[in-house]
Amino acid sequence: MQIRNFSIIAHIDHGKSTLADRLLQATHALSDREAREQFLDGMDLERERGITIKASAVTVKHIHNGEEFMMNFIDTPGHVDFGYEVSRALKACEGALLVVDASQGVEAQTVVNAYLAIAQDLEIIPVLNKIDLPGARPEEVAEELEQVLGFAAEECLAVSAKTGQGIPELLSAICDRLPPPRKPVTTKTRALIFDAVYDDYRGVVIYARVFDGRLKVGDKIRMMGLDRMHTITELGKYTPKQVKVKEVGPGETCYIVAAMKTLGDVRVGDTITLEQDPAEEALSGYEPPRQMVFCDFYPATSDKKGNDFEQLREAVEKLSLNDASFTFAPVHSEALGFGFRCGFLGLLHMDIVQERLEREGDVEVVQTAPTVSYKVDMRGKGGGIEEIEVHNPADLPDASTIVAIKEPVCRVEIMVPKQYIGDVMKICMDRRGIYRNQTYVSETREILTFEIPLAELMYDFYDKLKGMTAGYGTMDYEVIEFRTDTLVKVDILVNGEPVEALSLITHRDKAELRGRHLLVRLRQQIPRHQFEIPLQAAIGGKIIARETIKGFRKDVTAKCYGGDVTRKRKLLEKQKKGKDRMKSVGSVNIPQEAFMAVLDTGE
C-alpha cells in the first residue's frame, strides 16, 4: 500500500477546512449523513469563529489506478498566530496543498506558508479554490502564483471545495505528484511528535509521524529529548473517526496514548524511540514556540473570601493542559491583586485564551494591556553584561543599570493593491518600519516587505491596514530578531502614585504622544472623585505629560434625620455597585477598563 502525507495550507479563509471536508467525502471517510461543514474544526470556538485553531491530522484510504493509497493529511490553521502549528504539520509531511481563493488571489499568508513548505523541501500542489464563485479568476490567480512563487500555470489545479468540482483530479494529483515517504534510514524506531492534545479521559494524546521502524501497542517507548519512558496503551488513527490499530510502520501517522498525565510529560518536536533498541540520533525537531505577547489576567471580581484567584488558577491550569503554547506565572499587582502573567503566540491567541478561560473555566477576568517581550542588557554585579528577558514594563531593572533594551522585530509581508501603496508605506514608516523590498504580483497588486517592531504591529496595525486598503490589504509577519532601539519606560502616576499596571515601554520619540494619549483616555475612564486627581506620565522621574481629573466641589446632603436614614443609606449603597468592580490605587478608584487604555495608540 502506498502512503501520501500532506498538509493543507493557505491564507486564512481560503477554504482549507472545506477542502478537507471534500477529501473526507470523496474518499468515503464520512457518509453524507455524518458530514457537516468544516468537520475537522471540532472545538466550539473554532465552529463559532469559523476559523481553525488547532491542526488536525486524519487518515483516509483512496484507490487510484487500481492501487490502494493511505493518505494522511493535516488541516492547518490560517491565522498568523498559529503559524507554529503549520510548521509542525509540515515536518510530518512530504507534500502540501497550497490553497488559493481564486476570487481573492495570492495573499500575504499564501506567500509565507508557501515559503515554509519550500524551506522544508515539500512538494507543493497549488490549488485554486472557489472556482464556483462568479468573481473567480483562476487564470489571473495562476499568473500571480507564477509571478510570486514561480509555479507554472499548468501545475495549478482548479477546484471548488463547495461543489466538489475538481476533487477527483486533485486526489489523482496527490497520488501521482506527491512523493511517497522517504525510505527508513535505520532499523531503529524513530517517530516525530508533531502535536499533543489533552483528553479528560486518556490524559495526553500524542500525534506522531513514524519515519523509521515500527510502533506497537505495549511497546516501552522513550522520549529522546525529555528522556522519559512510557508504555503505549493505545495506538490509533482518525479516519476521522477514531480507529484503534495494533501497529504502525514507516511513513504513517498515528495517535499514541501512553498514560501521560500532563502536557509537561511531552515535548512537541521530540523523537520517540524504543526503550529496548533505542536510536542513537533524534530526528530534527522544532524550536519550541516563542511567546511574543504578554499580558496579565486577574479575577474581575474581588471575592471577599479570596476564592476568585483560586478559581482563576484552576481555569488557567486546566487550559494549559489543552494548549501548551501559552505560558503563565503568578503575579501580584498593587492595583489588581493576585493574578497571572501569561505569554501568547500573538494577539489572536491571547484573545482566544481569554475567551476559553471565561467560557471553559467559568471565571471573569480583567486583562491588562498586552506587551511584547524585551531583552535587556544590564550591568551585572561583577561589571559584566547580563541579558535578561522582560515581559512586563514593571520588571524593567533600574534605568542606571540598563545598557540596552532590545525588542522583537518582524519581517512583515503586506499584499496590497497598487493604488494604496503610498498609504501603506506611510503607516509602516510611522510604525518605525524599515522598507526592504517590493515584489510584483500582478498588474494590480504588489507585496511590500518591511521590518517593523512587533510592538508597533500589536494593537491596531492590521485594522488600520484593512481600513486604508478598503479591506484588500493582507499581511503576515514573523519575528526575525531582537534589535536595540532607544526604548524607554513611561511611568504613569495617578494622584502622585506610580501605577505599574499602567506603565509602558515605548520608543523615546513616541513616548510623549503615547503618554499624553494614555492620560486622556484615563481622564475619560476614571470617574470624578471627591478631590482633584493629577495624572502624570514620566520617564525616569521627569514628567512628560499631565492631565487633571477635576474633583467634585461638594457631595453632601443637607439633611439626615431619623426618617432619612434608610433612604439615604440605600442611595449610598446604590453608588457602591460600580465600586466593587473598581480597583483602588492609593486613594483613587480605577475602573477595570482603564487598564486597557494603554492599548490606544491614539493615532
Partner 1 sequence: MPARIDPGPVYAMVRKAMGLDGAVSGPSGGDGPARSLYIHIPFCFHKCHYCDFYSIVDSRDRQKAFTARLVRELRALAPFSGGLPLETIFVGGGTPTLLAPGLWVELLAALDDAFDLSVIRSGIRAGRGEFTVECNPETATPELMGVLAGGGVNRVSIGAQSFDPAMLKVLERWHDPENVGRAVELAAAAGIDRRSVDLIYAIPGQTLQGWGRDLERAISLGVTHLSAYNLTYEPNTAMTMRLKQGEFAPTPEELEVEMFGLTRETLTSAGLDRYEVSNYAVPGHECAHNLAYWRQKQWIAAGPSASGHLAGHRYKIVARLGDYLQERDDGFAPLIEHEARDARRALAEIVMTGLRLREGLDAQAVLARADAIELGLGERGLGERIEREVQRWERVGYLLDDGGAGGGRRWSLTEAGVLFADGIASEFIARIG
Ligand X SMILES: Nc1nc2c(ncn2[C@@H]2O[C@H](COP(=O)(O)OP(=O)(O)OP(=O)(O)O)[C@@H](O)[C@H]2O)c(=O)[nH]1
- What is the binding site for ligand X (CB under 6 A)? 10, 12-18, 38, 50-52, 77-78, 129-130, 132-133, 160-162
The nearest distance, CB 519 to partner 1, in angstroms, is 20
445-453/434-440 β-pairing: antiparallel
* Partner whose binding site includes residue 133, from partner 1, Mg ion, ligand X, none (CB under 5 to 8 Å by kind): ligand X
Residue with cell 501545475: 155
CA 232 to chain centre: 31
Q: How many CB atoms sit inside 10 A of residue 218's CB?
A: 9
Near Mg ion by CB under 5 A: residue from 10, 11, 14, 17: 17
215-216/434-440 β-pairing: unpaired
The nearest distance, CB 129 to ligand X, in angstroms, is 5
What are the backbone angles phi and psi of residue 577, rounded to the nearest 5°?
-45, -55
Binding characters for partner 1, 306-335, by CB under 8 A (x = yes) = x-----------------------------
* Partner whose binding site includes residue 305, from ligand X, Mg ion, partner 1, none (CB under 5 to 8 Å by kind): partner 1
- Minimum CB distance to ligand X smaller for 131 or for 215: 131
Q: Is 1 in the site for partner 1 (CB under 8 A)?
A: no
The nearest distance, CB 159 to ligand X, in angstroms, is 7
- How far are the Cα atoms of 105, 264, 430, 446, 470 from residue 463, in angstroms, in the given order? 20, 36, 15, 19, 11
Choices 21-29, 161-169, 173-181, 304-312; region in contact with partner 1 by CB under 8 A: 304-312
| Three-state SS sequence of 39-74 | CCCCCHHHHHHCCCCCCEEEEEEEEECCEEEEEEEE
The nearest distance, CB 428 to ligand X, in angstroms, is 25
Near partner 1 by CB under 8 A: residue from 529, 534, 539, 599: 529
- Minimum CB distance to partner 1 smaller for 65 or for 575: 575
- The number of residues that bind Mg ion (CB under 5 A) is 3
Find out whether 97 and 107 touch, Cβ atoms under 8 Å. Answer: no
- How far are the Cα atoms of 11, 200, 330, 577 from residue 303, in angstroms, in the given order? 44, 29, 18, 14
Near Mg ion by CB under 5 A: residue from 5, 7, 25, 52: 52
* Partner whose binding site includes residue 529, from Mg ion, ligand X, partner 1, none (CB under 5 to 8 Å by kind): partner 1
**Chain length of the chain:** 603
CA pair distance 518, 502, nearest whole angstrom: 9
95-101/123-129 β-pairing: parallel
Q: Is 303 in the site for partner 1 (CB under 8 A)?
A: no
Nearest to 239, CA basis, from 23, 515, 77: 23
The nearest distance, CB 15 to Mg ion, in angstroms, is 8
* Partner whose binding site includes residue 132, from ligand X, Mg ion, partner 1, none (CB under 5 to 8 Å by kind): ligand X
Find out whether 494 and 588 touch, Cβ atoms under 8 Å. Answer: yes
The nearest distance, CB 498 to partner 1, in angstroms, is 15
Q: Is 568 in the site for partner 1 (CB under 8 A)?
A: yes
- Minimum CB distance to Mg ion smaller for 41 or for 212: 41
The nearest distance, CB 333 to partner 1, in angstroms, is 17
The nearest distance, CB 555 to partner 1, in angstroms, is 4
- Minimum CB distance to Mg ion smaller for 56 or for 368: 56
Find out whether 199 and 244 touch, Cβ atoms under 8 Å. Answer: no
* Partner whose binding site includes residue 27, from partner 1, Mg ion, ligand X, none (CB under 5 to 8 Å by kind): none
Q: Is 18 in the site for Mg ion (CB under 5 A)?
A: no
> Quick one: 375 exposed, middle or buried, by C-beta within 10 A (0-12, 13-18, 19+)?
middle
- Minimum CB distance to partner 1 smaller for 275 or for 555: 555
Q: For 277-314, b where at least 16 C-beta lie within 10 A, e where not — what string?
A: eebeebbebbeebebbbbbbbbbbebeeeeebbebbbe
The nearest distance, CB 431 to partner 1, in angstroms, is 41
Query: What percent of the residues of the chain are helix, what percent strand, and what percent coil, each to the nearest 5?
Result: 30, 35, 35
Binding characters for partner 1, 261-300, by CB under 8 A (x = yes) = ----------------------------------------
The nearest distance, CB 530 to partner 1, in angstroms, is 4
* Partner whose binding site includes residue 162, from Mg ion, partner 1, ligand X, none (CB under 5 to 8 Å by kind): ligand X
The nearest distance, CB 219 to partner 1, in angstroms, is 54
Near partner 1 by CB under 8 A: residue from 33, 305, 381, 542: 305
Nearest to 473, CA basis, from 412, 560, 552, 545: 412
* Partner whose binding site includes residue 576, from ligand X, Mg ion, partner 1, none (CB under 5 to 8 Å by kind): partner 1
Residue with cell 486627581: 533
The nearest distance, CB 533 to partner 1, in angstroms, is 10
Q: Is 584 in the site for partner 1 (CB under 8 A)?
A: yes
Near partner 1 by CB under 8 A: residue from 36, 261, 359, 579: 579
> Quick one: 408 exposed, middle or buried, by C-beta within 10 A (0-12, 13-18, 19+)?
buried
Find out whether 448 and 504 touch, Cβ atoms under 8 Å. Answer: no
CA pair distance 392, 373, nearest whole angstrom: 8
Helix (H) or strand (E) holding 417: strand 402-417
- Say if residue 138 is preceded by a cis peptide, omega within 30 of 0: no
Choices 29-37, 301-309, 337-345, 485-493; region in contact with partner 1 by CB under 8 A: 301-309
* Partner whose binding site includes residue 573, from Mg ion, ligand X, partner 1, none (CB under 5 to 8 Å by kind): partner 1
- Minimum CB distance to ligand X smaller for 163 or for 231: 163
What are the backbone angles phi and psi of residue 37, rounded to the nearest 5°?
-65, 145
Q: Is 35 in the site for partner 1 (CB under 8 A)?
A: no
| Three-state SS sequence of 78-100 | CCHHHHHHHHHHHHCCCEEEEEE
- Minimum CB distance to ligand X smaller for 41 or for 456: 41
What are the DSSP calls for 503-533, one per residue? -EEEEHHHHHHHHHHHHHHHHHHSPP-SS-E
- Minimum CB distance to partner 1 smaller for 278 or for 527: 527
Task: Enumerate binding residues for Mg ion (CB under 5 A).
Answer: 16-17, 52
